[in-house]
Amino acid sequence: MIFEKRIKNIFSNLKREPDAIIIKNSSEPYIDDNFFYVTGLDKGLFEGSVAALRPTGKVDIIISELEAESAKKSNANLNIYKNGEEFNEFFKNTLSPLKNIGLNFSGISHRDFCRIKDRCPNSEFVDVSEAFAKARLVKDEFEIKTIKEACSIADKVMKMIPDILHEGIHEFEIAAEINYLMQKNGADESAFKTISSFGKNTAEPHYSHGNYRLKSGDFTLFDFGARFRKYNSDMTRTFVFGKASKEQKDMYETVLDAQRTGFDAIRPGIEAHDVHDAVSTYIDNTRFKGRFIHSTGHPVGLAVHDAGAGFNSECKVELKENMVLTVEPGIYIPGFGGVRIEDDILIKKDGVEILTKAPREFIEI
Binding site for a second copy (CB under 8 A): 26-31, 43-45, 65-67, 69-70, 103, 105-114, 127, 129, 172-173, 175-177, 179-180, 183-184, 186, 188-190, 192-193, 203-210, 293-294, 303-305, 307, 334
What distance in Å separates the CA atoms of residue 126 and residue 112, rounded to the nearest whole number?
15
Give the number of other CB atoms < 10 A from CB of residue 2. Answer: 12
Q: Give the count of beta carbons closer than 10 Å to the beta carbon of residue 149.
A: 16
d(CA 206, CA 294): 11
The secondary structure of 154-205, three-state, reads: HHHHHHHHHHHCCCCCEHHHHHHHHHHHHHHCCCCEECCCCEEEEHHHHHCC
Nearer to a second copy, 79 or 208 (CB): 208
Q: Which is nearer to a second copy, 2 or 293 (CB)?
A: 293
Residue 127 beta carbon to a second copy: minimum distance, rounded to whole angstroms: 7
Sign of the torsion formed by the C-alpha atoms of 260, 264, 269 and 275:
negative
Q: For residues 145 and 193, which CB has a smaller minimum distance to a second copy in the complex?
A: 193
Beta strands 50-53 and 20-24, pairing class: antiparallel
Q: Is 59:39 a contact under the CB 8 Å cutoff?
A: yes
User: Hey, which residues does 100 pair with through a beta bridge?
Assistant: 124
Rounded CA separation 291/287 (Å): 9
Q: Which of 85, 133, 86, 82 is nearest to 106 (CA)?
A: 133
Task: Name which of 218 and 234 has its Cβ closer to a second copy.
Answer: 234
CA distance 102 to 129: 9
Q: CB of 186: closest distance to a second copy in angstroms?
A: 8
Closer by beta carbon to a second copy, 4 or else 277: 277
Tallying the residues shown for the chain, one arrives at 365
Tell which residue, 158, 221, 214, has the closest CA to residue 187: 158
> In the complex with a second copy, which residue's Cβ is closer, 69 or 318?
69
Decide if 222 contacts 236 (C-beta within 8 A): yes
Decide if 225 contacts 154 (C-beta within 8 A).
Answer: yes
Shortest Å distance, C-beta 66 to a second copy: 6
Nearer to a second copy by Cβ, of 83 and 216: the residue is 83
CA nearest neighbour of 93 among 120, 122, 55: 120
The residue among 329 and 360 lying less far from a second copy, judged by its C-beta, is 329
- Report in angstroms how near the CB of residue 132 gets to a second copy at its nearest: 12
Q: What is the bridge-based pairing of β-strands 226-228 and 189-190?
A: antiparallel
